[in-house]
Structure 1
Amino acid sequence: MMTTDDFSGPGPQLAAFTARLGFRLDPFQREACAALEAGQGVLVCAPTGAGKTIVGEFAVHLALAQGTKCFYTTPIKALSNQKYHDLVDVHGAANVGLLTGDNSINSGAPVVVMTTEVLRNMLYAESSSLQGLSHVVMDEVHFLADRFRGAVWEEVILGLDPSVRVASLSATVSNAEEFGDWITTVRGDTAVIVDEHRPVPLHQHMLVGNRMFELFDRKHPKQVNPELNRFIKHRLLSDDAVGGYRERLARERRRGGTGVSRPRLIRLLEENGLLPAITFIFSRKGCDGALAQCLRSDLNLLEPHQVSAVDAIVDRHLSALAPGDADVLGVDEWRDGLRRGFAAHHAGLLPTFRQAVEELFVEGLVQVVFATETLALGINMPARSVVLERLVKYNGEAHVDLTPGEYTQLTGRAGRRGIDVEGHAVVVWTPEVAPDRVAGLAGARTFPLRSSFAPEYNMAMNLIDRLGVDGSRDLLRRSFAQFQTDRSVVGQARQLDRARMTLRKVDAELEHSAERKGLAPESFLEYVSLREDIRRHERAAKFVRRMEASEAVSEDLLSLKPGNVIGLNNGRHRGLALVLERAAMDVDPKPLVLSEDGWTGRVGVRDFVNPPEVLGHLRIPKSANRRSAQGRRELVKLIRSSGIARPRGRNKKKRELSEHDLRLTELRNRLRKHPVHKLNGIDDLHRLSERRHRLLRDIDSLERAVDERTAALETEFDAITGVLTELSYLETDDSGELVVTPTGAVLRRIYSESDLLVAECIRAGIWDRLSPPDLAAVVSSMVYESRRDSYSGGVDSMPGDRALRESLLATVDVWQATNDVQERHGVVQTREPDTGFCVAIGAWASGRSLREALLAASERGQLLSPGDFVRWNRQVIDLLEQIRGSVDPDTGLAVAAARAVKGVKRGVVASELD
């Protein structure tokens, strides 16, 4: 790691760079820039707002000064767009380009801003644009921990030519040195520069009711403010206050809120001089609800002269929208909020709306923004304060607590450098949020970066095509994932060495003790081995008996028919029971029964020790309604008057001896005949043998763990290549090497979560004769994912023409066949095609209006926001372009894909791509 002692003064390019900045660089910025000018790569880890991007901008300056190229990569398109405009302002439009997959501006410029995926695709395609590349900036490089997209960052770092200098910019992580060691290993000389100083100090607060408290004690900065704890304790003791609060909170949460009055909250922030503020609410519905709450109030944060400035900026951003779209986009309500100084910011809004909000916020014309956490990622919108209403968010699968890293990322927005003396983080108190918990989040400094790298189909195809199988394996071994695994395995390897050393000592002690008692060590160990074999077979025999009993019960439950009367002898309900419904075919079949005490429910394997015996049969009257109390009483009367005898005991079925039972008999006979069996005074030997056995178990477990961890990536890679070989994307050439087939060339050009399924559908020809709108619709099923609050109907119920329905059904057939192959090779299966966007994009691609497209979706149960509509259209355009580029340009599929792109890329979608 570099220190200030390593810095001897600026080189000529750094001096020229700083001369035009108009402000002094911080020490960490000077160190990083000096390292770049000296020809090193750099990894810069610093807090949000510390000015890491200065280092990236110096890399751009160096490339231009040297007459070479610099690529500036970001994780999201919005950040790429923002960085593009920043660099154009400094270097001019002729010198800066933009590539984001769905947008291309001046791509041959010496400086090109792009999403990281675009650069990865260039590397795989061995693009001529890589010639003359000297520097790559990887902004937000800690994104490589993202479980969905993180592998892309490692692919780029590993795939760039060794001559390229990489400037990696990261949020503060606790294992920066480990990450830097890896980058140095794979890319050569890299300076690791860590700066934990925030240019603008951050103060932590909790808002309890109408009172704002500092979170930490001023006298003891690491302890929670005792006055805050006393106030909360007093509040909790007030039954009326807490009862009323909890009632209001429950009512608000049913409506998607948090029990917080946003107008009152904003007025409190204003009174304390804490505006402008960003309030993070972890749902779009919550953000929109907060905005609506403010619109219903008399809250107004702007002066009259500011309102005209808002209108001018809004009009400029809305100029590209079609007049007829204003109503469906809710422009009037959105503008009303902006003219009063507040707005929402989330992915459900049109990008045009979000960009307008960002500009107005930076200009001080929006004072409060209700945002989801996506705003925290790189967008230049610092505030004086950040408010967190809850410390729980939905991660796509479950509601989870915020991590210390996420808390730091969000609150890092507070404090505008050069404007604010200090920043403020405000957590709204609720009975579920203890101050100690907030203090733990705010005080934590451990945010380790963990690799999410894993081989996938497209990656495997491109690696094998470029590097061959051996080269691909070598790249996997050089990944950060393997680097971290190897380091963690070091600890397990040390444990393994210690266990083996201890085993040698125990063996020596055992041998010495046995010889003193006149025993051959081998004979005693043979005896111990017999005892262990007996224990193992006893466990196996017990398991077999349990499984056989379970299977017998399961078979009998499946055979029960309505009207059968069985006996219940286990659980709360005993006596006779009448079968009302058959069991479904399942691992645990559960027929519906009515017991003679009036209970109705399903009984399964766990309710029976022995298989259920049919004791008799009753005809269930058609008039009997088991769903009504009266109907059940009639059936109970029928059971009791049937005269069927109740079960008296448990009749066990005679079972055959298993191989484990037979082996046990043999082993027990051998044990009794063994010369050691009847010896006395050998307890110490038994204790040593028990210890030896535990050590052997530990050694075996550690060996397996080390083998599994060190080979995990290559095992996944082998499974994936197995799938690709079976499906003829790879084949073995004359020299015995795996090579990409002509069919595989298609898969190499498909960059999608469903890449294999897309390639299989192309090969099957099931999309060849579709009209452009229908092709757009079926391709949308490859990328679209229905939200939790939406319904995605089945393929059978899809409206539209016969060709589309048949193509969707054929696509599902291909998906099922592909998953069968993946299952055989132990590869995670491709997610099912989702038809939820088919109606909307089909209508849009056919030339229908935005209102008609959104209405068509809503009629099918899909709740699509305008922002989602544009976002999913963008993704479909991207995949259509990939499909078009992967097949012969003269084919019907390529022509239809081109026309589908043209049909989709219009109106509000086209304006968002410009």
Structure 2
Amino acid sequence: MEYKGLTLDRFQEDSIRAIDNNHSVVVSAPTGSGKTLIADYIINKYLKKGVRVIYTAPIKALSNQKYKEFTSDYGRESIGLLTGDVVINPGAPILIMTTEIYRNMVLTDDEMIGQISYVVFDEIHYINDVERGYVWEESIIFSRSHVRFLCLSATIPNAEEFASWIHSIKKHKVETIRHEHRPVPLHKNFYDSMLGITTLEEIKDAKDIPDYDRVMRRRGRRRPRIRPPNHIELIKEIRDKLPCFFFNFSRQGCQDCAFELFRARIFSANPEVSSFIRKRLEGAAPEIKSLKSTRILRETLPYGIGFHHAGLIPLIKGIVEELFSKGMIKVLYTTETFAVGINMPAKTVAFQSLRKFDGSIFRFLNSKEYFQIAGRAGRRGIDKEGFVYAMVDRRDFDYPLLNRITYRDIEPIRSQFRLSVNTVLNLIKRHTEEEIRRILRMSFYTYQQDFKGEVQNSFNSTKKKLIRMGYVKEGKLTEKGEFSSRIYADEIITGEIFATGLYRELNEYQMMLLIACLCYEPREKTEFYRTYPSQFLNELRGKVRGRHMLKRFSHMDKLTAMVHPCYHGRSIFDIMKNTNFLEGDVIRFFRQMLDRLSQIRGATADERLKLMVKNCQDLIIVSLSDIDSI
């Protein structure tokens, strides 16, 4: 079987056959094996029929990437993008969106839902995510009965169980398609500061030399201190296996490593790259050219060294991606979002470490995370094999754990289902008590654990809280409850401010400051260089003080560094000077504010509040005017 001039693999044929039979499909196949072609087939088929297809992605970077790919293939008029802060062509037949956006649409029974034929869930294993996994479950549970699903993931050990769950709640045929063969085999290695490129077994043997330790102690000497492995030394050893994605779980670490490798002068300069960058920056604002990240990349990129992370502005990310696709980057230091968000392979993948900070603790990767990243090694049609190198520090060496992580992807997908306030409000709003009981029994958690009463108990507990706080009365939503049923994060706090009389005491400056507090995620090393005391701030502090629900607003003083210049019409580049936030993080912060404001505007019937929200949005849009949206 052929599609668009390509001879299909068996698993692609089987998937297409299932789609033609109007079945849902769960596809488990390695990175780079051609899963996206199946999604493309659905888009091509239903675009011709004039029926809508939704393509969901777990992160905005992947949504943006797919938008660019599909607009190139099908034209801008056929493709739309919805990521909360960015809305492009929302009436298009093919809509690309984050999974949260789709979940919000099905939960509120958006009128658009009735027109959907297929929903593609790319990277469906994100259902494992502790914080966000419930979004995927709810997206499936609340989809209408006529909707079919294409669920894609690199490896799902329990794919049959997952497919069986979908069948049990949706009552239509769900096929499981497995493909184990990687088109480019992976050659996995490790790097030790003393042994160089080696195996886990050799590191274990070298670490476990009791006789050596005993002799040293007997002689009154200490064993020589083993230094941690160095990325530059590894690059020197794999110069014949470039290009390389070098994964570092710190954005600043990516930049630091790129500059360190540049200073090592391992590679010679390519004047073509300097010329390319100069041309791409010709029309850019002078402030973009003077950004720290831009200045560093202009030094490192001509030597084939770059970095890529979510803290870069879109224009600079685009330059790095284009240079890599042209084969002009030898080593690209990047964070793990690149492994999901950018569809570009390399000959080699290297890990700075197999440990990462997950937002609360430092921990080792699990096998799914390791293989998600390692799977980027090996270019189909170019390389006979892909190479993976993980740097290992003997100070935290754990042989059984590292062996389990890197041997095979054995992590099944597990339910992380939890009921958000928004979900509970919408269930009460749209369903009878009997319907709610039936829906709550549909979760993948209940299917896996067979704890049929646990989710119901969680619902009852949340409902009691909502009754106590005035969001539900006599089995129906109050005005405050109706408002918060359209808010998708911090539903209670947002309701307490904007669905009560409190917001009437605010002006636009104070409103922006409260929204900024909701969006801000404190980090240990975040600094604000300049803050702006004012009468507005003092008044707001007084309004918040003593309100138990509003404890989140302790960072108001600091966040004037962001809000004050924005309110007074300053550019995003001026705001960047007030903090050590990376440039892209400043942009993302204001886009999150836009998203929150859009939710409030859509949730309220109060015309005065709508006008205030629009005024706040306009101020932010002015500050962001020099920045591309994607």
Q: One fold, TM greater than 0.5?
A: yes
Aligned mates of 1:194, 1:301 — CA distance in 2: 45
2:625 aligned with 1:903: no
Give 5+ residue unaligned stretches, structure 2.
none
2:151 pairs, out of 168, 174, 184, with 168
1:362 pairs, out of 325, 328, 334, with 325
Checking the alignment, whether the CA contact within 8 Å between 1:291 and 1:343 is kept in structure 2 is yes
Moved more, 302-311 or 838-847: 302-311
Report SS of the residue matched to 2:26. strand
Checking the alignment, whether the CA contact within 8 Å between 1:99 and 1:113 is kept in structure 2 is yes
2:169 aligned with 1:205: no
What does residue 433 of structure 2 align with? 469
Report SS of the residue matched to 1:386. strand
The one-letter amino acid of 1:315's match is L
For residues 351 and 44 of structure 1, do their structure 2 counterparts lie closer, same or farther at Cα, with a shift above 3 Å needed? same
What does residue 514 of structure 2 align with? 778
For residues 457 and 811 of structure 1, do their structure 2 counterparts lie closer, same or farther at Cα, with a shift above 3 Å needed? farther
Checking the alignment, whether the CA contact within 8 Å between 1:204 and 1:214 is kept in structure 2 is no
2:97 aligned with 1:114: yes
What does residue 542 of structure 1 align with? none
Checking the alignment, whether the CA contact within 8 Å between 2:28 and 2:152 is kept in structure 1 is yes
CA-based RMSD of the aligned residues comes to 2.8
Measured against aligned partners, the alpha-carbon deviations of 1:297-340 in whole angstroms (never above 9, x if no partner) come to 3233553344434544x427xx4x43234324442222222222
Report SS of the residue matched to 1:343. strand
1:425 pairs, out of 384, 388, 394, with 388
Report SS of the residue matched to 1:764. coil
Q: Where does 1:186-225 land on structure 2 (aligned, <5 Å)? A: 186-187=169-170, 188-209=172-193, 212-213=196-197, 215=199
What does residue 600 of structure 2 align with? 883
The one-letter amino acid of 1:718's match is N
What does residue 802 of structure 1 align with? 535
Aligned mates of 2:575, 2:28 — CA distance in 1: 45
Measured against aligned partners, the alpha-carbon deviations of 1:165-218 in whole angstroms (never above 9, x if no partner) come to 111112312211111110111222110112222111000112234865453xxx
Checking the alignment, whether the CA contact within 8 Å between 1:761 and 1:811 is kept in structure 2 is no
Deviation of residue 785 (structure 1)? Answer: 0.7
What does residue 424 of structure 2 align with? 460
2:258 pairs, out of 275, 282, 291, with 291
Q: Where does 1:593-742 land on structure 2 (aligned, <5 Å)? A: 709-732=451-474, 738-742=475-479
Report SS of the residue matched to 2:281. helix
What does residue 599 of structure 1 align with? none
For residues 838 and 721 of structure 1, do their structure 2 counterparts lie closer, same or farther at Cα, with a shift above 3 Å needed? farther
Q: Where does 1:220-235 land on structure 2 (aligned, <5 Å)? A: none
For residues 19 and 440 of structure 1, do their structure 2 counterparts lie closer, same or farther at Cα, with a shift above 3 Å needed? closer
1:269 pairs, out of 231, 238, 262, with 238
What does residue 484 of structure 2 align with? 747
2:566 aligned with 1:844: yes
What does residue 57 of structure 2 align with? 74
1:281 pairs, out of 248, 260, 264, with 248
Deviation of residue 710 (structure 1)? Answer: 3.2
Report SS of the residue matched to 1:424. strand
Measured against aligned partners, the alpha-carbon deviations of 1:89-146 in whole angstroms (never above 9, x if no partner) come to 2212221111111112221111111111111222233322223211111111111221
For residues 353 and 424 of structure 1, do their structure 2 counterparts lie closer, same or farther at Cα, with a shift above 3 Å needed? same
Identity of aligned residues (%): 31
Checking the alignment, whether the CA contact within 8 Å between 2:56 and 2:119 is kept in structure 1 is yes
2:86 pairs, out of 83, 98, 103, with 103
Checking the alignment, whether the CA contact within 8 Å between 2:61 and 2:341 is kept in structure 1 is no
What does residue 383 of structure 1 align with? 346
Checking the alignment, whether the CA contact within 8 Å between 2:571 and 2:622 is kept in structure 1 is no
1:395 pairs, out of 358, 362, 379, with 358
What does residue 337 of structure 1 align with? 300
Per the normalisation by structure 1, the TM-score is: 0.64
1:480 pairs, out of 433, 444, 449, with 444
What does residue 410 of structure 2 align with? 446
The one-letter amino acid of 1:807's match is L
Aligned mates of 1:760, 1:436 — CA distance in 2: 50
The one-letter amino acid of 2:39's match is G
Checking the alignment, whether the CA contact within 8 Å between 2:125 and 2:413 is kept in structure 1 is yes
2:587 aligned with 1:870: yes
Checking the alignment, whether the CA contact within 8 Å between 2:124 and 2:152 is kept in structure 1 is yes
Moved more, 898-907 or 767-776: 767-776
What does residue 219 of structure 1 align with? none
Per the normalisation by structure 2, the TM-score is: 0.91
Checking the alignment, whether the CA contact within 8 Å between 1:322 and 1:908 is kept in structure 2 is no
The number of residues matched between the two structures is 621
Give 5+ residue unaligned stretches, structure 1.
1-9, 11-17, 216-223, 250-258, 487-708, 733-737, 819-829
For residues 437 and 757 of structure 1, do their structure 2 counterparts lie closer, same or farther at Cα, with a shift above 3 Å needed? closer
For residues 434 and 474 of structure 1, do their structure 2 counterparts lie closer, same or farther at Cα, with a shift above 3 Å needed? closer
Aligned mates of 1:831, 1:177 — CA distance in 2: 43
What does residue 790 of structure 1 align with? 526
Checking the alignment, whether the CA contact within 8 Å between 1:781 and 1:838 is kept in structure 2 is no
The one-letter amino acid of 1:894's match is K
Checking the alignment, whether the CA contact within 8 Å between 1:287 and 1:371 is kept in structure 2 is yes
Deviation of residue 435 (structure 1)? Answer: 6.0
Checking the alignment, whether the CA contact within 8 Å between 2:232 and 2:261 is kept in structure 1 is yes
Report SS of the residue matched to 1:848. coil
Checking the alignment, whether the CA contact within 8 Å between 1:202 and 1:422 is kept in structure 2 is yes
Report SS of the residue matched to 2:607. coil
Deviation of residue 761 (structure 1)? Answer: 0.9
Checking the alignment, whether the CA contact within 8 Å between 2:571 and 2:624 is kept in structure 1 is no
What does residue 500 of structure 2 align with? 764
For residues 910 and 728 of structure 1, do their structure 2 counterparts lie closer, same or farther at Cα, with a shift above 3 Å needed? farther
Checking the alignment, whether the CA contact within 8 Å between 1:276 and 1:367 is kept in structure 2 is yes
Measured against aligned partners, the alpha-carbon deviations of 1:660-716 in whole angstroms (never above 9, x if no partner) come to xxxxxxxxxxxxxxxxxxxxxxxxxxxxxxxxxxxxxxxxxxxxxxxxx43221111
Report SS of the residue matched to 1:894. helix
For residues 713 and 435 of structure 1, do their structure 2 counterparts lie closer, same or farther at Cα, with a shift above 3 Å needed? closer
Deviation of residue 833 (structure 1)? Answer: 5.8
The one-letter amino acid of 2:281's match is D
Deviation of residue 902 (structure 1)? Answer: 1.1
The one-letter amino acid of 2:415's match is S
What does residue 825 of structure 1 align with? none
Aligned mates of 2:289, 2:392 — CA distance in 1: 39
Measured against aligned partners, the alpha-carbon deviations of 1:362-405 in whole angstroms (never above 9, x if no partner) come to 22122211122222224212111111122211111111122122
The one-letter amino acid of 2:566's match is W
For residues 792 and 710 of structure 1, do their structure 2 counterparts lie closer, same or farther at Cα, with a shift above 3 Å needed? farther
For residues 243 and 768 of structure 1, do their structure 2 counterparts lie closer, same or farther at Cα, with a shift above 3 Å needed? farther
Report SS of the residue matched to 2:46. helix
Aligned mates of 1:229, 1:464 — CA distance in 2: 57
Aligned mates of 2:521, 2:259 — CA distance in 1: 27
Aligned mates of 1:121, 1:85 — CA distance in 2: 24
Aligned mates of 1:374, 1:422 — CA distance in 2: 23
For residues 306 and 866 of structure 1, do their structure 2 counterparts lie closer, same or farther at Cα, with a shift above 3 Å needed? closer
Checking the alignment, whether the CA contact within 8 Å between 1:786 and 1:792 is kept in structure 2 is no
For residues 339 and 414 of structure 1, do their structure 2 counterparts lie closer, same or farther at Cα, with a shift above 3 Å needed? same
Report SS of the residue matched to 2:431. helix
Moved more, 230-239 or 89-98: 230-239
For residues 412 and 233 of structure 1, do their structure 2 counterparts lie closer, same or farther at Cα, with a shift above 3 Å needed? same
The one-letter amino acid of 1:139's match is D
